[in-house]
């Protein structure tokens, strides 16, 4: 039902894949009051980002209350890209789940060489994660642009700033239960 109503909203907005069409960057979800979710990229383009296990990622989304965010903090350019990607992601996901009746939280960790840090920039021992992990891979290390699940870790990779934000939007759409328009 949710997908059908979402498709109607997009079709009414004039959604086609014809080149030259205005990008679609906003959606509303039935049952989420007047909440508008705004994306960094055209949703149609974000949906094209590859993923190896969208159903497994959805299952994590349906069950987590805490997610750990991890990244290699050694590249300042990647760090800036991660910040934008995470701001976009974190502006939507907690709100989405609150409308679904669940509160979620996020803890972040980063490493430089073999030294690990928490979100307060304090040196810590290498963490052992029990909760799901969102592992960001920026352009300096990414081999592709994708959202892949391995065990309990979602790897969000982008080979450029745009591709990283596309992958971030793809992950959000997967967690929203939207995998096609």
Q: What is the pLDDT of residue 18?
A: 57
Residue 91 lies in a domain: yes
**Angstrom distance (rounded) from CA 23 to CA 126:** 42
Least confident segment among 1-10, 43-52, 107-116 = 1-10
Mean pLDDT in residue range 70-93: 97
Angle at 18 between CA 12 and CA 19, to 5 degrees: 130
pLDDT tens per residue across span 136-146: 999 999 999 99
Q: From 159, 165, 126, 128, select the one nearest 145 (Cα to Cα).
A: 159
What is the DSSP secondary-structure string of 127-176? P---S-EEEEE-TTT-SS-EEEEETTEEEEE-SSHHHHHHHHHHHHHHHT
Residue 22 lies in a domain: no
pTM of the model: 0.89
Q: Has residue 3 got a pLDDT over 70?
A: no
What is the number of structural domains in the chain?
Answer: 1
**Angstrom distance (rounded) from CA 162 to CA 142:** 13
Residue 21 lies in a domain: no
Residue 36 lies in a domain: no
Residue 57 lies in a domain: yes
Residue 180 lies in a domain: no
**Angstrom distance (rounded) from CA 76 to CA 60:** 30
Residue 88 lies in a domain: yes
Q: Has residue 111 got a pLDDT over 80?
A: yes
pLDDT tier, 85 (very low <50, low <70, confident <90, very high otherwise): very high
Structural domain boundaries, residue 107:
46-175
Mean pLDDT for the chain overall: 91
């Amino acid at each position: 039902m949710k997908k059908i109503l979402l498709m109607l909203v997009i079709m009414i907005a004039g959604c086609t894949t014809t080149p030259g069409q205005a990008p679609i960057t906003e959606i509303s979800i039935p049952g989420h009051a007047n909440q508008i979710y705004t994306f960094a990229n055209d949703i149609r383009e974000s949906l094209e980002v590859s993923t190896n296990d969208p159903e497994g990622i959805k299952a994590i989304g349906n069950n987590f209350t805490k997610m750990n965010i991890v990244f290699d903090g050694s590249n300042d350019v990647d760090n800036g890209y991660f910040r934008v990607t995470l701001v976009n992601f974190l502006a939507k996901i907690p709100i989405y789940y609150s409308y679904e009746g669940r509160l979620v939280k996020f803890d972040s960790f980063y490493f430089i060489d073999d030294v690990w840090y928490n979100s307060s920039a304090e040196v810590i021992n290498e963490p052992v994660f029990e909760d799901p992990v969102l592992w960001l891979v920026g352009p300096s290390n990414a081999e592709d642009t994708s959202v892949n699940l391995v065990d309990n870790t979602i790897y969000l990779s982008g080979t450029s700033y745009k591709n990283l934000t596309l992958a971030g939007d793809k992950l959000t759409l997967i967690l929203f239960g939207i995998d096609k328009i």
